[in-house]
Amino acid sequence: MKLRLFSKNTVKAALNSLPFLYIVLSSGCSPSTTPTYSIRNIDTAIRDICKKEYKLDAKVKITGRTLWVYMPMEDMLEKPDKPEKYTDKFEIKSNDVEFYRGALWLKYAIKPIPDAEKLQEYKYKKTVFENIDSAWKVIRRVVFSIENPRENEPHFFCLITADIKNGFQIKQVFYYLDMKKVSYGLMSLEEYSHREIRDNETGHNITGDKEGAHIDYHDISMEEFLAAQIQQRIKLKFQKPEVEKNADIDKEITKITAYTIRNYGLKDFNLAELDNLETKGKTILNKAAVWAEPSD
């Protein structure tokens, strides 16, 4: 049987319509205070528990201080009985963020558009949520019980759930301290939802890949994570949307940039340059401007 490849727009629409964050938080968190696992065996522990208790065939790999979990599945999407409606109010033609040579570079092209009502033609199956929820339960259970956590705990977690029949995957990246804060009620669920990195990808290299051979396993840096989070926040700001059509786009993105950097205490950079490709405008923020208290 020939595999069919879902389009990126199909996956993107399904992803944007669903509250993916609830998966990580719905089951509640009761972190253990008794060390149980060594950093040397957490990959084996996660893999074995997923298999034994949830019948999940997870591939686990540790690269530096980043824990990667790959879960192959099949037929993750289905057509809903009653498609939900959603409305686009902004067009995001470009949204690129990158740290390079001590500077943060943002290039974006965003503009308001006439309200365009659309139908959500696909949704994720219930089993997808259940399996991802189970995987996060195991990750929390193991990582929150590591010996000498300050020295050994992973800094970042990346869970990739792949539909290896239809050729697409969902990628979720979390920062360890964010997970701990929300687990202990020190961070709101809304704020946590903006710190989670969600991405999706389609490709023929995903089809049939039960082992995760196509994944670029690497040690995620704080700069990489923050660039992705700023990009994610911009997307949420204008796709949900969280602002009115008359919003000052440059001002909103400037606030997102400064807020995100301050949240994580990143001071190892020289400047942030924001290029509005739609208006040809440019905003330069030095380190002092980023760390200044916001005026509103």
Taking the C-alpha atoms of residue 2 and residue 198, their distance in angstroms, rounded to an integer, is 29
Q: Give the residue ranges of DSSP H helices in 125-175.
A: 126-143, 149-152
* pLDDT tens per residue across span 32-44: 455 678 888 899 9
Residue 106 exposure: Cα atoms within 13 Å on the Cβ side: 34
Structural domain ending residue among the three candidates 185, 216, 247: 216
Q: Are residues 276 and 140 in the same domain?
A: no
* pLDDT tens per residue across span 116-136: 888 888 899 999 999 999 999
Peptide bond connecting 241 to the previous residue in cis, omega within 30 degrees of 0: yes
* pLDDT tens per residue across span 206-256: 999 999 999 999 999 999 999 999 999 999 999 989 999 999 999 999 999
Tell me the β-bridge partners of 98.
105
Residue range(s) defining the domain that contains residue 144:
8-78+121-216
- How many C-beta atoms surround the C-beta of residue 11 within 10 A? 23
The pLDDT value given to residue 182: 87
Taking the C-alpha atoms of residue 253 and residue 259, their distance in angstroms, rounded to an integer, is 10
Q: Per-residue DSSP letters for 211-243?
A: S-TT-------HHHHHHHHHHHHHHHHHHTT-S
Count: domains in the chain:
2
| Residue 105 pLDDT > 90 | yes
Q: Are residues 74 and 172 in the same domain?
A: yes
What six digits make up the tokens of 95? 């949204």
Tell me the β-bridge partners of 112.
90
What six digits make up the tokens of 167? 């050729």
For 185, left (φ over 0), alpha (ψ -120 to 50), or beta?
Answer: left
Where are any strands of DSSP class E within the chain?
A: 59-63, 66-73, 77-78, 85-100, 103-119, 123-124, 156-163, 168-175, 197-202, 271-276, 281-286
Structural domain ending residue among the three candidates 191, 216, 241: 216
The pLDDT value given to residue 296: 57
Higher-pLDDT residue of 141 and 30 is 141
Taking the C-alpha atoms of residue 75 and residue 146, their distance in angstroms, rounded to an integer, is 35
Q: Are residues 264 and 276 in the same domain?
A: yes
> Rounded mean pLDDT of 54-71?
96
| Residue 15 pLDDT > 70 | no
Predicted confidence band of residue 8 (pLDDT cuts 50, 70, 90): low
Q: Are residues 198 and 177 in the same domain?
A: yes
- 42-54 vs 126-143: helix crossing angle, rounded to 10: 140
What six digits make up the tokens of 185? 């009620």
Structural domain ending residue among the three candidates 216, 237, 262: 216
Q: Are residues 95 and 143 in the same domain?
A: no
- 8 Å CB contact between 91 and 110: yes
Q: Are residues 43 and 73 in the same domain?
A: yes
Taking the C-alpha atoms of residue 108 and residue 32, their distance in angstroms, rounded to an integer, is 43
- 8 Å CB contact between 145 and 37: yes
